[in-house]
Amino acid sequence: MRSSDRRLHKAPVLVLLIALTLYGCPQPTSPTDDPSETDSAPDSLTYLGSFADHSGALATVASLSLFSTDDAVYAAADGSSASEPSNLVHLSAGSVWGEVDGVPDDDFDSVAALGETVFTSVSDRLAYRENAGSDWVVVDLRGEMMKESILTLAVSNDQLFLGSNVGLFALPVDGIEADAAELSAPIADQSGSVGDLFMSGSTLYGTLDPLGRKNPQSTALFSWNHETESWSYNSDTGLPTPLRSIAALGARVFVGLTDGIAVGDFGGSFVVHTLRHPGMAAGEVSIVRDIEVDAGRVYAASSSGLWYSTDAGESWSVITSGDGLPGDAWHAVVAVGDRVYLACDGLGVAELVWQ
């Protein structure tokens, strides 16, 4: 998830935020250290390895925990290990882990980033840090959301979007006050719990649970163009629910399902790809938990491996443990250029590269 065009959300856990600068990747720990020495065909996706463990932190990466900016990949990881405090760490260009002090809350619910600015939320509180040298600022949210939880965050170049169990709210990135922010009403009339968010250009796509559950079981889709302030709602997708994740490439929308991925137009029809490969057991399904779009490619982190498409979802290929991945069940995926990163509880962060 590149934060200018995507999102991050996760269930509340004790977390550790890890930022990895792309120009200083750690030495992979596994099978294919030098992609130039592989026999892969051009434009093939190859597993490089998993990042070295950091006192247990990278080995327990939380679900839906990856997001990225133009020059860094971030992972929210469980810091409950007795040997590792809960704080903010980053990986420098010299491949040395460094800690950043001052994160306001250990148990934050959601995270997003824009450039060097990082946003976190806990219940009805928002915190942000403008850059590595600045202090964290805590913002108490007032208004209709004051007693509601922020379930997910997304950020564009000028707007911070907050999804809660009473709807979708927005704040100007440059106008967040240090003491409080007034959120008087959702930016659309349709209420409910916001499940997943994905920013594509000026349009924000999301999944919605109209029943307002704090653990959303989304049954509807929405889109919001923050330049034209136009809202669209689709509660009759014809897709099996819950709708687990969402992303978009141009006018084409991708929806993660309990059994595969749906591809189609927001207000039109969808084609469901069930995503099967020969290594799957009889009756096994591909639960698509997270979707990423980058450089015209689409990635789906699933329970059966990493699926990807280079033709806007018309056909799909997969990389699994049979190709070197440390496992098949993945919760989150981000891509920046030719690098792809996967995360899952217990498996840490895996790195892949396009040859």
Q: Name the percent of the chain in helix, strand, coil, to the closest 5.
A: 5, 50, 50
The pLDDT tens digits of the residues spanning 72-124 come to 666 665 544 433 333 344 433 334 334 445 666 655 667 788 877 888 877 67
The residue ranges of every structural domain in the chain are 7-354
Q: For residue 282, what is the DSSP state?
A: T
How far apart are alpha carbons 204 and 89 in whole angstroms?
29
How far apart are alpha carbons 182 and 198 in whole angstroms?
24
pLDDT at 23: 37
For 193, 200, 202, 206, 231, the CA distances from 224, given in Å and listed in that order, are 15, 10, 8, 9, 5
262 has pLDDT over 90:
yes
The pLDDT tens digits of the residues spanning 3-30 come to 444 554 444 333 444 454 443 333 333 3
Scan for tokens 């800690």, then name that residue: 99
Copy the structure tokens of residue 349: 């962060």
How far apart are alpha carbons 347 and 32 in whole angstroms?
18
pLDDT at 127: 84
- What does the pLDDT average to over 63-69? 63
Q: For residue 33, what is the DSSP state?
A: S
The pLDDT tens digits of the residues spanning 292-301 come to 999 999 999 9
- Determine the 3-state secondary structure of 221 from DSSP: strand
How many CA atoms are closer than 13 Å to the CA of 305, on its beta-carbon side?
A: 21
How far apart are alpha carbons 264 and 314 in whole angstroms?
10
Contacts of 37 (CB under 8 A, 6+ apart): none
Q: Is domain 7-354 classified as CATH 2.40.50.140? A: no
DSSP of 103-169: -S-SS--EEEEETTEEEEEETTEEEEESSTTSPPEEEEEEETTTTS-EEEEEE-SSEEEEEETTEEE
Q: How many residues does the chain have?
A: 355
